[in-house]
């Protein structure tokens, strides 16, 4: 008899589990609380504009990369892709503009023009990028091709020194004051990130492995949804799961918010780990490790607030992703900033009508600030409005006249993510443990919980890493485990 699987959540991990579940002969259904599938990989229409909440850097786009083969397997490559020339750029109010070009020759030339006195450090940077681009470390590690990693070991070892150097420390080596300010911000404005990770990302861009899906994040997720549905999978939207029904140490079904109950042989949760363990399972299946994972996440979060602007202005000539250095510190929400991080989307004609464009500005904030404000809805909305106005005012420096060109505005906070996708503190769905990037990539941990049969986790709770490919891959790994446990043949 065909075994049935209920999946809670249509994020990357849930959809992928559905796909491999269907392929391997299970009858699967996904229950999703939001009105659209895709989870955090989402975008939406606001009038004639498309606003995107997710993708900055999508890995696995080069046809010869390991990750690409996986993406194709799950239908994710149905969208059209475009590559940008630069990884990121930094602009100052005096008109200085640094493009962190993917192409090392172009980058070197550009950097030397900006600061000939920094010839040595520029040479070192460009050499690091060249070395990093000679191997597909991310793909090989994630897809488990250790032989290839060994083969490329000399090049990997050559770049290991960059693990110990943060972006901030590296920036100090520049003599030029503008580049000194720019370099610490290149990786999502986080100066503590090791240079190694930036070089890896850069190399992926150079190899064409990072690209943007035309039509934005939802177009990318739609390919996976389509593949799942073509295989006979069913997704029930606006279907929030309130409880996982257990019987004698076995997961047997779910109860939905409206009281309906559905039963299956196996239950998979792609939802936030804490809420699954503490609410859906009532805290009944925990050990000390899981309890420590469920501790309150940090109050301060990157990407906590996003201001989306649809503007009657041509942005096709603007850098794809830009950090704007501010002359004076400014307070947005409850934090002070000396720079503003934004994405413009001039490279994707579907984001706005011809001659118009979209700008997204993101910044960190605490969860508690917005949570406290939300006790009074009008205060919360007022703060969002004030924040958007301040951001528009700051953009005037780079885009004179923009205030009069704004035609659509959206502001999301961590509470917005929570409302649509039920996460903790927005999207902190992973375990509250120092993310161990390498080990989480090598072995997605804890897909099961102690004392409960027929229950599995997918998604960020199992990987601890906020990246589309690794959370999608967790769905495949869960079905591999389930097949093994049930003596079934896994079909990829």
> Would you say 57 or 313 has its CB closer to ligand FAD?
57
In 3D, which of 176, 192, 166, 174 has the Cα closest to residue 92?
176
The count of residues interacting with ligand FAD (CB under 6 A) is 36
Bridge partners (DSSP) listed for residue 325? 339
Secondary structure of residue 133 in the 3-state scheme: coil
Note the residue count of the chain.
492
> Contacting ligand FAD (CB under 6 A), which of 124, 193, 466, 490?
466
Instruction: Give the pair of three-digit tokens for residue 58.
Output: 């999508």
Q: How far is the CB of 220 from ligand FAD (least distance, A)?
A: 10
> Would you say 421 or 479 has its CB closer to ligand FAD?
421
In 3D, which of 196, 138, 222 has the Cα closest to residue 469?
138
Question: Please, which of residues 215-254 interact with ligand FAD by CB under 6 A?
Answer: 240-241
What is the sign, positive or negative, of the torsion defined by CA atoms of 205, 207, 210, 213? positive
> Would you say 191 or 435 has its CB closer to ligand FAD?
435
CA distance readout (Å), 218 to 51, 133, 298, 384 = 10, 29, 28, 24
Q: How far is the CB of 59 from ligand FAD (least distance, A)?
A: 6
Q: Is the separation of the CB atoms in 169 and 161 below 8 Å?
A: no
> Contacting ligand FAD (CB under 6 A), which of 5, 6, 8, 132?
8
- Residue in the structure block whose two tokens are 């601890």: 464
> Would you say 13 or 310 has its CB closer to ligand FAD?
13
**At a CB cut-off of 8 Å and minimum separation 6, what does 153 contact?**
none
> Contacting ligand FAD (CB under 6 A), which of 460, 473, 478, 482?
460
Measured distance CA(356)–CA(339) in Å, rounded: 25
**At a CB cut-off of 8 Å and minimum separation 6, what does 361 contact?**
306, 307, 309, 340, 341, 342, 391, 395
Q: How far is the CB of 484 from ligand FAD (least distance, A)?
A: 21
Q: How far is the CB of 258 from ligand FAD (least distance, A)?
A: 12
> Contacting ligand FAD (CB under 6 A), which of 5, 6, 7, 9?
9
> Would you say 172 or 257 has its CB closer to ligand FAD?
257
> Would you say 115 or 246 has its CB closer to ligand FAD?
246
Q: How far is the CB of 480 from ligand FAD (least distance, A)?
A: 16
> Would you say 55 or 187 has its CB closer to ligand FAD?
55
Question: Please, which of residues 287-316 interact with ligand FAD by CB under 6 A?
Answer: 303
Measured distance CA(317)–CA(197) in Å, rounded: 28
> Contacting ligand FAD (CB under 6 A), which of 5, 6, 7, 12?
12
> Would you say 82 or 155 has its CB closer to ligand FAD?
82
Instruction: Give the pair of three-digit tokens for residue 355.
Output: 């001659």
Longest distance between any two alpha carbons in the chain, whole Å: 73
Q: Is the separation of the CB atoms in 390 and 332 below 8 Å?
A: yes
Taking CB under 6 A as the rule, which mask of x and - marks residues 409-428 in contact with ligand FAD? ------------xx----x-
In 3D, which of 128, 88, 135, 84 has the Cα closest to residue 108?
128
Question: Please, which of residues 21-80 interact with ligand FAD by CB under 6 A?
Answer: 31-34, 39-41, 53-58
Q: How far is the CB of 241 from ligand FAD (least distance, A)?
A: 4
Q: Is the separation of the CB atoms in 261 and 271 below 8 Å?
A: no
Q: How far is the CB of 430 from ligand FAD (least distance, A)?
A: 8
Query: Helices (H), strands (E): how many in the chain?
Result: 19, 20
Question: Please, which of residues 252-281 interact with ligand FAD by CB under 6 A?
Answer: 270-272
> Would you say 206 or 280 has its CB closer to ligand FAD?
280
Instruction: Tell me the residue nearest to ligand FAD as measured from the CB.
Output: 11
> Would you say 31 or 178 has its CB closer to ligand FAD?
31
428 φ/ψ angles, rounded to the nearest 5 degrees: -80, 65
- Residue in the structure block whose two tokens are 């861009």: 205
Question: Please, which of residues 111-150 interact with ligand FAD by CB under 6 A?
Answer: none
Q: How far is the CB of 4 from ligand FAD (least distance, A)?
A: 17
> Contacting ligand FAD (CB under 6 A), which of 429, 447, 464, 482?
429
Stretches 10-18, 145-153, 291-299, 476-484: which one binds ligand FAD (CB under 6 A)? Answer: 10-18
Measured distance CA(123)–CA(311) in Å, rounded: 39
> Would you say 171 or 267 has its CB closer to ligand FAD?
267
Measured distance CA(241)–CA(276) in Å, rounded: 10
Instruction: Give the pair of three-digit tokens for residue 180.
Output: 């000194």
Residues that bind ligand FAD (CB under 6 A): 8-14, 31-34, 39-41, 53-58, 240-241, 270-272, 303, 421-422, 427, 429, 459-460, 466-468, 471
């Amino acid at each position: 008899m065909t075994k049935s699987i209920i999946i809670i959540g249509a994020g990357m991990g849930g959809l992928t589990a559905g796909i491999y579940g269907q392929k391997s002969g299970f009858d699967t259904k996904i229950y999703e609380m939001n009105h659209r599938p895709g989870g955090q990989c989402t975008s939406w229409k606001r009038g004639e504009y498309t606003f995107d909440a997710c993708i900055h850097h999508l890995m696995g786009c080069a046809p010869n990369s390991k990750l690409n083969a996986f993406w194709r397997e799950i239908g994710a490559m149905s969208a059209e892709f475009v590559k940008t020339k630069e990884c990121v750029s930094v602009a100052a109010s005096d008109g200085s503009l640094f493009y962190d070009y993917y192409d090392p020759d172009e980058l070197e030339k550009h950097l030397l023009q900006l600061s000939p006195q920094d010839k040595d450090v520029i040479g070192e940077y460009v050499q690091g990028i060249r070395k990093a681009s000679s191997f597909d470390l991310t793909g090989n590690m994630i897809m488990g091709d250790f032989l290839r990693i060994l083969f490329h070991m000399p090049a990997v070892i050559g770049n290991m020194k960059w693990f110990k150097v943060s972006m901030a420390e590296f920036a100090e080596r520049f003599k030029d004051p503008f580049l000194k300010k720019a370099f610490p911000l290149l990786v999502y404005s986080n100066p503590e990130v090791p240079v190694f990770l930036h070089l890896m990302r850069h190399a992926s861009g150079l190899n064409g492995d990072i690209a943007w899906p035309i039509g934005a994040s939802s177009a990318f997720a739609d390919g996976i949804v389509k593949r799942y549905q073509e295989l006979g999978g069913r997704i029930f939207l606006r279907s929030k799961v309130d409880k996982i029904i257990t019987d004698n140490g076995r997961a047997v079904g779910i109860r939905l918010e409206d009281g309906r109950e559905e039963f299956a042989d196996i239950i998979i949760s792609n939802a936030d780990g804490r809420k699954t363990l503490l609410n859906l399972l009532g805290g009944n299946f925990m050990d000390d490790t899981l309890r420590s994972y469920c501790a309150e996440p940090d109050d301060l979060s990157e990407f906590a607030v996003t201001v989306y602007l649809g503007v009657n202005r041509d942005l096709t000539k603007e850098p794809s992703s830009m950090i704007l250095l501010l002359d004076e510190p400014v307070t947005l929400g409850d934090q002070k900033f000396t720079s503003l991080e934004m994405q413009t989307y001039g490279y994707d004609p579907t984001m706005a009508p011809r001659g118009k464009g979209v700008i997204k500005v993101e910044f960190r904030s605490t969860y508690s600030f917005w949570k406290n404000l939300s006790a009074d809805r009008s205060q919360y909305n007022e703060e969002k409005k004030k924040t958007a106005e301040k951001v528009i005012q700051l953009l005037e420096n780079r885009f004179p006249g923009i205030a009069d060109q704004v035609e659509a505005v959206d502001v999301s906070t961590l509470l917005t993510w929570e409302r649509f996708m039920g996460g903790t503190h927005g999207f902190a769905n992973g375990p509250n443990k120092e993310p161990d990037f390498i080990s989480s990539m090598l072995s997605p941990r804890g897909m099961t919980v102690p004392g409960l049969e027929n229950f599995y986790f997918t998604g960020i709770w199992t990987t601890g890493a906020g990246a589309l490919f690794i959370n999608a891959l967790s769905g495949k790994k869960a079905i591999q485990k389930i097949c093994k446990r049930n003596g079934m043949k896994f079909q990829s």
